[in-house]
Chains A and B, each alone.
Chain A
Amino acid sequence: MKKLLVLFTALTFAALPATPVFANDAYGNGPGCGLGGDLFKGNKAILHQVLASTTNGTMGLQSFGITSGTIGCTNNGQFASNGHATMFADLNFENLSQEMAQGGGEHLASLATLMGVPAEQQPAFFAMTQEKYAALIQSGETTPTALLKALHETMAAHPVLAKVSLVR
């Protein structure tokens, strides 16, 4: 944890001067979208450290402030649609990889919901992730975006789910 803190502090201060007029921009893309907007431009390893820190409850909390957190971060539409699915896939990759192999589970159902898979198609979606598990997980281990892309591509080739995928 100590190392993390040092890393955090160093990067925070490194980022500060580069960030323009923060206070004035607050209403727009300032503290409005704590994790939403900038999340995936970042380095995956750092993101995981953020998660590690939020999960022991000592840091990263501010990303989830009441008026400055991720909720309602819909101004630019990012967080509402694909952004949320990508963030969810990244923060829950381990549970997703397990549930994909098992052919179901609440994380997988939640991801399907965020991806816009209707409830009645979800069993087919679960079966698909189990069927194509090895290939999907290989993409997933690179980036969450790659996992979602692979899921969409696999759906596009699926007799039932192709429609859902096209709707997106």
Chain B
Amino acid sequence: MFLGGSRFQCRGPRFFFRLSSGLPRHLVQTACLLLVITAFAPGVAAEPSDPVYLSELIRRATDVKLADSREWHALLHYRPNFFGGITSEQDGLTFFLSPDGKTNPQAELEATLTGFFSDNLIGEAKQPISCAFVARYAWLKEQLAFDDRRLPPKDCERFHNWMQGLNPRSITLIFPSAFMNNPASMFGHSLFRVDRQDQTPQTRILAYTINFMAEVPDDEGIMFAVRGIAGGYKGNFSAIPYYLKVKEYRDIENRDIWEYRLNLTDAQVRRMLMHVWEMGNASFDYFFFRENCSYQLLPLLEVANPAWRLTDQFTWWTLPGDTVRLLTKQPGVVGDAVYRPARTTQIRRRYQRLSDDERGLLGRIMGDASLVRDPAFQQLPVERRALLLDIASDYLRYQSVKDDKRAESYKSRDRDVLIARSELKVKSDDTPSEPFVTRPELGHRTSRIGVGAGYRQDEWFEEVSFRTVYHDLLDPEIGYAPGYQIELLSGAFRHYEKQNQTRLERFTLANVMSLTPADALFLSPSWKVNVGMQTLRHNGCRYCSAGVANGGAGLTFETHLLKREYFFGFGELETTYSRAFEEKHRAGGGGTLGMMADLTDRWRLLASASYLRFALGEKSDEVRWSVGQRYTLAKDAALRFEFNHRERRDNEALFTIHAYF
């Protein structure tokens, strides 16, 4: 029943609209036609109700150029286009009242005013036009001082119920951190939460969120990437209760969440939410890199305060972390930040506080909850027993989500643990779990340029390097998860002195690496994928371009001998295409061992050695090793020194200064 209802509700009206997608356009045309008719035959037609007043309003709006104002452009999502005109980023059919609305602000304004005089009900929710576009109405009413007797306001019951349901006080920007295991969430996500008047810190989860998401059908496979990047999906706003988002991010995907309270005035909050209501009739083509979840929050803020120019800041891509950074740069906008640890973060932090004996007990109890009767456990102070059982329950839940096949077994053990826990009449330890990753907006910016010089194969060179996004292992770590690397579209041009040759030295399509330390509780694998072009020396070829694809899986261990060290090992496969090789290619496999160590807060060392044997194409093998060091100068500046050894006598030393922007 529910299911039928729900799916019907979502498909039904959509389907209805597809059938009648011309409806609003039609209405407007009819209305205009009637306007013309009524001009010749006053008092005959019923629509619009007061044509004289309508034309007066249109004239006044035109006189003061309302259609050119920043507010109108913000409400309609108009942006300057490449051809010097104006286009709205809204792509749905029900949002514009004029057939030219997408590109003609004046026509849309006239059609909107005309619509206000009509009794037609539009959209999924069947509302009068002044209710469906309640923010446009409020703004135009204010600008043109509508005479309520000649343009009687409509009763927007649904909208008022909705506002009452939200009971808004303020807006919070929610930033769930990056999630490596889902390509769509690799850079994090962002959404708004509408905080309630009657909310306490304990009931924040009852607030609704304003969330922009693409509608992605299941099992899209590789097409997901293509369509996601090219705008092949429709994106819509939705209002999901925050407790479902917390469940999704904190409990299922194990992502830390940051909550940034925004300092908006009551009027700004109201204006923004009126516009959110209008978004119920809007849809946007979803572009993974720019017009994405994070970008589409910015126009809402621009409606709240048209003086903010936020969307202009993003030309090519919008990363959730950048939007957070952009907002924190506006003075006074961002208030306090609240941290909500992922379930795994909480488990790891609490586990760190246990003694070896307690860890042993924890492991045994998670295997068999009846061991809570064991004297070794019973003799612990009651707070420690509660702590142990709380960790056990969290961990068993984590396992039941992760391991579908044995979920029932974990759940039944969790039930036993919780029954034992309920017998301890103490509250849980509420010491906040410290994040492992600092606040994202404190980190370096995501684009990077570098200028460097070095020595390779007995000659000097200079190079200029660039990277579009995002972070590599040697970049300053603040704000980014340790052991987490995503580089997209990066490269370097190099000039070799002796050869007097300038060449594209390397180009990276994608270089992604995830080093996740394995420990007693979490045995997550580490993995890496690297696709791009490199310059290598082989056989007779001194500098040869080569297309390389490399991927591997392995394990990482963490130690704290100095500050923090990661030791990692990978098994990997690699294939290279280059004219340097016989048959122009070689393919094979091998392994890498490496270490990443923080010597001080600013100084990091990354060293690795690989052996690869190529059995296909040109049969050969190769030993590579490299040592890299980074020294952080400032938040957005760092020095790097690298030494790379590839084939015999192909040694390279490189010194670079990086700036992030």
B243 lies within 8 A of A91 (CB):
yes
A11 lies within 8 A of B9 (CB):
no
| Stretch of B68-76, B198-206, B256-264, B609-617 lying at the A interface | B198-206
In this assembly, does A46 line the interface, its C-beta being within 8 Å of a C-beta of chain B?
A: yes
Task: Kindly identify which residue among A16, A40, A102 contacts B390, using a CB–CB cutoff of 8 Å.
Answer: A102
| CB-CB under 8 A for A65 and B10, given A42-B3, A106-B204, A110-B206 | yes
B263-281 near A? 1/0 per residue, CB < 8 Å: 0000000000000110111
| CB-CB under 8 A for A100 and B8, given A1-B218, A55-B247 | no
B125 lies within 8 A of A26 (CB):
yes
A114 lies within 8 A of B206 (CB):
yes
A130 CA to B389 CA, complexed, in Å: 14
In this assembly, does B248 line the interface, its C-beta being within 8 Å of a C-beta of chain A?
A: yes
B3 lies within 8 A of A15 (CB):
yes
A38 CA to B160 CA, complexed, in Å: 22
B2 lies within 8 A of A113 (CB):
no
B229-259 near A? 1/0 per residue, CB < 8 Å: 0000000111111011001100110000000
A15 lies within 8 A of B419 (CB):
no
Residues 34 to 61 of chain A near chain B (Cβ within 8 Å) = 34-35, 37-43, 46-47, 50-51, 54-61
| Stretch of A68-76, A148-156, A158-166 lying at the B interface | A68-76
| List of B residues within 8 angstroms of A167 by Cβ | none
Residues 70 to 120 of chain A near chain B (Cβ within 8 Å) = 70-75, 88, 91-92, 94-95, 97-98, 100-107, 109-110, 113-114, 119
| CB-CB under 8 A for A92 and B426, given A22-B12, A23-B16 | no
| List of B residues within 8 angstroms of A60 by Cβ | 6
A68 lies within 8 A of B248 (CB):
no
B8 lies within 8 A of A104 (CB):
no
In this assembly, does B397 line the interface, its C-beta being within 8 Å of a C-beta of chain A?
A: yes
CB distance from B181 to the nearest CB of A (A): 12
Task: Kindly identify which residue among A5, A15, A58, A75 contacts B4, using a CB–CB cutoff of 8 Å.
Answer: A15
B5 lies within 8 A of A15 (CB):
yes
In this assembly, does A63 line the interface, its C-beta being within 8 Å of a C-beta of chain B?
A: yes
B428 lies within 8 A of A95 (CB):
no
B393 lies within 8 A of A34 (CB):
no
B244 lies within 8 A of A71 (CB):
no
B167-194 near A? 1/0 per residue, CB < 8 Å: 0000000000000000000000000000
A14-33 near B? 1/0 per residue, CB < 8 Å: 11101100110011001110
A32 lies within 8 A of B158 (CB):
yes
Q: Is the interface of B mostly helix, strand, loop or mixed?
A: helix
Task: Kindly identify which residue among B6, B132, B165, B241 contacts A74, using a CB–CB cutoff of 8 Å.
Answer: B165
| List of B residues within 8 angstroms of A74 by Cβ | 161, 164-165
A64 lies within 8 A of B238 (CB):
yes
| List of A residues within 8 angstroms of B425 by Cβ | 103, 127, 130-131
A119 lies within 8 A of B124 (CB):
no
B422 lies within 8 A of A133 (CB):
yes
In this assembly, does A168 line the interface, its C-beta being within 8 Å of a C-beta of chain B?
A: no
Give B123's nearest chain A residue, CB to CB.
A67
A27 lies within 8 A of B239 (CB):
no
| CB-CB under 8 A for A26 and B124, given A46-B3, A61-B236, A72-B161 | yes
Give A42's nearest chain B residue, CB to CB.
B2
| Stretch of B208-216, B527-535, B622-630 lying at the A interface | B208-216
Task: Kindly identify which residue among B8, B238, B428 contacts A22, using a CB–CB cutoff of 8 Å.
Answer: B8
B210-228 near A? 1/0 per residue, CB < 8 Å: 0101011111000000000
In this assembly, does A62 line the interface, its C-beta being within 8 Å of a C-beta of chain B?
A: yes
Give B198's nearest chain A residue, CB to CB.
A113
A134 lies within 8 A of B419 (CB):
yes
A133 CA to B5 CA, complexed, in Å: 34
Q: Classify chain A's interface size.
A: 35 or more
A39 lies within 8 A of B204 (CB):
no
B422 lies within 8 A of A15 (CB):
no
A65 lies within 8 A of B202 (CB):
no
A31 lies within 8 A of B240 (CB):
no
In this assembly, does B427 line the interface, its C-beta being within 8 Å of a C-beta of chain A?
A: yes
In this assembly, does B26 line the interface, its C-beta being within 8 Å of a C-beta of chain A?
A: no
| List of B residues within 8 angstroms of A47 by Cβ | 2
Residues 131 to 175 of chain B near chain A (Cβ within 8 Å) = 132, 158, 160-166
CB distance from A157 to the nearest CB of B (A): 18
A8 lies within 8 A of B7 (CB):
yes
Interface centre among A40, A62, A74, A114 (most CB of B within 10 A): A62
A104 CA to B248 CA, complexed, in Å: 21
| List of A residues within 8 angstroms of B279 by Cβ | 66
Give A8's nearest chain B residue, CB to CB.
B7
A32 CA to B9 CA, complexed, in Å: 9
Give A37's nearest chain B residue, CB to CB.
B5
A73 lies within 8 A of B125 (CB):
no
B13 lies within 8 A of A38 (CB):
no
A15 lies within 8 A of B8 (CB):
yes
B6 lies within 8 A of A50 (CB):
yes
Task: Kindly identify which residue among B4, B14, B206, B238 contacts A61, using a CB–CB cutoff of 8 Å.
Answer: B238
| List of B residues within 8 angstroms of A15 by Cβ | 1, 3-5, 7-8
| List of A residues within 8 angstroms of B215 by Cβ | 61
| List of A residues within 8 angstroms of B239 by Cβ | 64-66, 69-71
In this assembly, does B640 line the interface, its C-beta being within 8 Å of a C-beta of chain A?
A: no
B422 lies within 8 A of A101 (CB):
yes
A103 CA to B127 CA, complexed, in Å: 46
| List of A residues within 8 angstroms of B9 by Cβ | 22, 30-31, 34, 62-63, 68
A127 CA to B3 CA, complexed, in Å: 36
Task: Kindly identify which residue among B6, B163, B206, B216 contacts A63, using a CB–CB cutoff of 8 Å.
Answer: B6
A51 CA to B69 CA, complexed, in Å: 43
A63 lies within 8 A of B10 (CB):
yes
Task: Kindly identify which residue among B13, B165, B206, B218 contacts A59, using a CB–CB cutoff of 8 Å.
Answer: B218
A23 CA to B244 CA, complexed, in Å: 29
| List of B residues within 8 angstroms of A71 by Cβ | 162, 165-166, 208, 239
List, sorted by A's number, 12 A–B pairs whose CB atoms are closer than 8 Å.
Answer: A19-B4, A19-B12, A31-B12, A42-B2, A57-B248, A68-B124, A73-B161, A101-B421, A103-B427, A106-B205, A107-B243, A109-B200
**B interface residues (Cβ-Cβ under 8 A, vs A):** 1-14, 16, 121, 123-127, 132, 158, 160-166, 200-206, 208, 211, 213, 215-219, 236-241, 243-244, 247-248, 251-252, 276-277, 279-281, 386, 390, 393, 397, 415, 418-419, 421-422, 425-428
Known: A51-B244, A133-B418. 11 other contacts (CB 8 A): A1-B219, A12-B4, A22-B8, A34-B6, A71-B162, A91-B243, A92-B243, A102-B422, A113-B206, A137-B415, A137-B419
Listed from nearest, the 4 A-B pairs whose CB atoms lie closest are A15-B4, A62-B10, A42-B2, A67-B280
